[in-house]
Amino acid sequence: MNCIFCRIIRGEIPSTKVYEDDLTFAFEDIEPQAKVHTLVVPKEHIENLNDMKDQSLWFAMLKAAQEVAKRKGIEKSGYRAVINCGPDGTQIVPHLHLHVLGGELLDSQMG
Ligand code: AMP
Ligand code: ZN
């Protein structure tokens, strides 16, 4: 599997790990859009949000985002959790990922 995020999860491409559990992996975004920018991905290759069918995996993704916020020290100051899906959603990497953004006041515009 040539998917870049699958390769990061397998350790074939270096990343800065923030959190990991049985179902999820979280690492620093290589081109941060905010002072804190961490990606949470399912270890299983799931292309995008449309293919997310598993309740326990969805819960694990959100728990991982909470844990990332704690570890990055932005739990109280606040953050944004974003999933881009498909072409109009500007999803570039076809392995589902949740962006955790914070560490500063974010632009209030959503699009
Ligand atoms: P998206 O536009 O939602 O598909 O976002 C993809 C994200 O993956 C972007 O924020 C990229 O900066 C990030 N990204 C791409 N390659 C890597 C990499 N090797 N390590 C960490 N983040 C990456
Ligand atoms: Zn993948």
- Structural domains of the chain sorted by starting position, each given as residue range(s) with its CATH number in brackets: 4-102 (3.30.428.10)
Q: Ligand 1 within 6 A of 84 CB?
A: yes
Side chain identity at residue 59, one-letter code: F
CB 45 within 8 Å of CB 3: yes
pLDDT tens-digit map of 4-23: 999 999 999 999 999 999 99
Which residues are 99's β-sheet partners? 39, 82
What separation in Å is there between the alpha carbon of 106 and the centre of ligand 2? 28
pTM of the model: 0.97
Catalytic residue IDs: 97
Residues 6+ apart with CB under 8 A from 48: 85, 86, 91, 94, 96
* Residue bearing tokens 């949740």: 98
pLDDT tens-digit map of 80-110: 999 999 999 999 999 999 999 999 999 988 7
Q: Which residue's CA is minimally distant from atom 3 of ligand 1?
A: 91
What separation in Å is there between the alpha carbon of 75 and the centre of ligand 1? 22
For the chain, where are the alpha helices, taking DSSP H only?
A: 4-9, 55-71
